[in-house]
């Protein structure tokens, strides 16, 4: 009887200690989500993000960051497209030192929307932004100056980023002064374009293998994502 009880206990504990692999991403089982959420809340409070960064977007970004294989930097970038282009919606976090490094405005694709980005695509020539998780690559000097390559990690969502030349770069149309005159930033061909005075320091902070997450409150993304699941992301902080 005692042996049977021990075996039952072991069978119950086993799922809590296992990880499952899916699409090259390590995913924690449901039983570990409580402690994972608590750790994320602690990080959110330690960084002083209340009233600055959307909790739901941050929670999703951190969850994916922890699951992404191949990251080489303890740096996480969040682009929050639930906010208008006139707001600071590009955030860079030092995950090791638990602090916010940068916050900035950022432009979205010209066919994704006016002041808000509401439509997204992975298709070449769409001139739309793409959601989901990326790893940053190397830098280069291009037609937009100092720029950063991005590798989209989610098939069908953003994996054509290189083909589409979706990169981080600076642009005059991404300056806050443009928004103050016209009611919104200028728009890109799908790239996350930054103010020129911030593009180099931000690119240097996130280049070479850090995680980027582009968020929007769209159920369609969660239904297709190979990194996140709608069921494992509670809304409440």
Q: What is the pLDDT of residue 144?
A: 96
In a domain, 161, yes or no: yes
Domain with 61 in it: what CATH number? 2.40.440.10
134: closest CA among 192, 204, 89? 192
pLDDT band, residue 111 (cuts 50/70/90): very high
In a domain, 16, yes or no: no
Our measurement of the distance from residue 72's CA atom to the centroid of its chain's CA atoms, rounded to an integer in Å, reads 16
If you average pLDDT over residues 96-117, what whole number do you get? 98
If you average pLDDT over residues 210-236, what whole number do you get? 89
* 170, two tokens: 């600076």
Give the total number of structural domains in the chain. Answer: 1
Number of DSSP helices (H) and strands (E) in the chain, helices first: 6, 10
Do the bridges between strand 211-215 and strand 132-142 make them parallel or antiparallel, or are there none, so unpaired?
Answer: antiparallel
Q: What is the pLDDT of residue 34?
A: 59
| pTM of the shown model | 0.85
Say how many Å lie between the first and final Cα of the chain, rounded. Answer: 43
Give the structural domain span for 178. 33-231
Residue 148 near residue 139, CB atoms below 8 Å: yes
In a domain, 37, yes or no: yes
In a domain, 3, yes or no: no
In a domain, 26, yes or no: no
Q: What is the pLDDT of residue 230?
A: 79
* Dihedral (CA of 225, 228, 233, 237) sign: negative
In a domain, 203, yes or no: yes
pLDDT band, residue 150 (cuts 50/70/90): very high
Residue 232 scores a pLDDT above 60? yes
In a domain, 96, yes or no: yes
In a domain, 196, yes or no: yes
Mean pLDDT of the chain: 88
Residue 30 scores a pLDDT above 70? no
Q: What is the pLDDT of residue 15?
A: 40
Give the SS3 label for residue 230. Answer: helix
If you average pLDDT over residues 17-42, what whole number do you get? 59
d(CA 73, CA 101): 14
């Amino acid at each position: 009887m005692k042996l049977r009880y021990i075996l039952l206990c072991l069978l119950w504990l086993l799922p809590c200690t296992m990880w499952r692999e899916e699409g090259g991403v390590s995913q924690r089982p449901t039983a570990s989500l409580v402690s994972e959420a608590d750790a994320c809340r602690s990080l959110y409070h330690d960084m002083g993000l209340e009233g600055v960064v959307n909790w739901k977007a941050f929670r999703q970004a951190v969850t994916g960051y922890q699951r992404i294989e191949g990251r080489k930097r303890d740096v996480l970038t969040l682009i929050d497209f639930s906010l208008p282009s006139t707001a600071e919606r590009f955030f860079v976090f030092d995950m090791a030192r638990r602090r916010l490094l940068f916050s900035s405005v950022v432009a979205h694709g010209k066919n994704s929307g006016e002041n808000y980005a509401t439509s997204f695509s992975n298709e070449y020539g769409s001139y739309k932004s793409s959601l989901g998780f990326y790893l940053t690559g190397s830098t280069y000097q291009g037609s937009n100056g100092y720029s950063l390559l991005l590798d989209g990690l989610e098939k069908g969502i953003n994996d054509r980023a290189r083909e589409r030349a979706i990169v981080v770069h600076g642009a005059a149309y991404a300056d806050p002064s443009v928004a103050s005159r016209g009611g919104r930033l200028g728009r890109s061909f799908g790239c996350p374009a930054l103010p020129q005075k911030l593009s180099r320091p931000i690119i240097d902070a996130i280049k070479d293998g850090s995680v980027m997450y582009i968020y929007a409150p769209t159920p369609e993304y969660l239904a297709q994502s190979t990194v996140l699941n709608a069921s494992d992301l509670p809304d409440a902080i």
